[in-house]
Structure 1
Amino acid sequence: MVKNYKKKQNTGRLQYSQDDMVAAVLDVNEGMSERAASAKHNAPQSTLHHRICGHVQSPGQSGRSTALLQIEEVALAQNLATMGDFGLAFDLSEMRMFVKVHLDTMHRSIPQFADNLPGVDWAHGFMQRHKDLRSTRHCQNINRKRAAVSEVICQKYFDNLQTSIADIEPHLIINYDETNLTDDPKTKLMIFRKGTKHPERIMNTTKSSTSIMFSVTATGMLLDPYVVFKGERLQDSWIMCGPLNTHYNVT
């Protein structure tokens, strides 16, 4: 279970500004003593000493340093958001495994990670530190063929359609749409860039589904719906209490 850490109020907060700390460091570099620079700019002397010695990994951050370097966390956050844009989103488990592979490849060992695998707490903490990512998004799985449809392909389709229906009467033009009701969609919480309107993940595997077809003519006449179940024989229980004027079939 993930631990929800709650800091006490008015504790662990920085009591100085980063501008004052930078000014104090500059004064020390110009010859002023650390004590004098600390008093002049109201910056803690111990913090000033650590900053000058280069012992601070994340300037301006209170509390314990992160397990990964700040530049690594920023790069990880940016790449996760980009992968989500490409339809190759990661979930939290895949993100943790990705970090482990990175550390193993770089021959680095992080004491906070068991066998270099970040824990669940670290993953949630990472998401809290990078608000431009969101892990609470259910995405729609689409295959690669559908993902490859571009604006140029759509434009060619409508150009060909306009030529094809040029001399056809409106009541003979039928628009047809199919909707699948999946029995086990198994949507997962994936990582996407903040503000993504249509989160999708490209996958080549699908689940069985029941197809419902709707058709309407160019004059506005709605045809009867058509339902197709997966199977070889149509069972009476499948159509019991179904909508009126509905046609049923099997694959």
Structure 2
Amino acid sequence: MCSCLQGYDLIGITEMWWNSSYDWSVGMEGYRLFMMDKQGTQGGGITFCINDQLECMELCLEIDEELTESLWVRIKGSTGTGDIIVGVCYRPPDQGDRADEALYRQTGAESHSEALVLMGDFNHPDICYTDNTAGHKQSRRFLECVNDNFLLQVIEEPMRRGAMLDLVLTNKEGLVGNVKLKGSLGCSDHEMVEFKILRAVRRAHSKLTALDFRRADFALFRDLLGRVPWDKADNVCLQPRKSTVSWAASKEA
């Protein structure tokens, strides 16, 4: 309902807490669903819901994908602009160094794209982004990844009990704007983050072809139909034969 009212093109959600028994209920009309359920553990799970009018495809990075909870999607840019890579990530608070490094390799690979937006819950509450400092080793390593890949962190306000856990990172200044906190959704103790990607994307065009009946040759149709012999008593065709009706024109829907 929230997505319908606001008209969001892209929705990233972390900690979905679902399994395959809920697959029937997670889709939304008008959106293409990309999802990842963390197998073998309780909790976690991430998803992208992307307006089905946008040309997009999920990326297979082939970089330690089994270790991380992350999804990456390429959205086709409009004419004259490059594509946009969007990612969503959930990093559990107890995630180990091996999984952290796998996520940093993925982030480093995608940071070389022309336009990247990475959102998610990274669970580093001890980082101060104003001073670029952190208290713990893992948080300092995360800051190194952000700085080494020249990423900008655009969230300025904490959204969970005074901690800044949910972040939006981008590799291009001015790509993300109008960042707002929109309150919590349902029973979540995190606030929703709303922002705009300030770059045009390509809308998908329907490939269906619709006939333009207003331009049809109905005189030819009646003439061909009149040549078929009928039994007027039983109203059946006695000698059906093949005929071809040529339509004058068609147009793309």
| TM-score in terms of structure 2 length | 0.18
Going by fraction, where is strand more abundant, 1 or 2? 2
Structure showing greater relative contact order (alpha-carbon pairs closer than 8 Å, 6 or more residues apart) = 1
Point out the structure with max Rg over C-alpha.
1
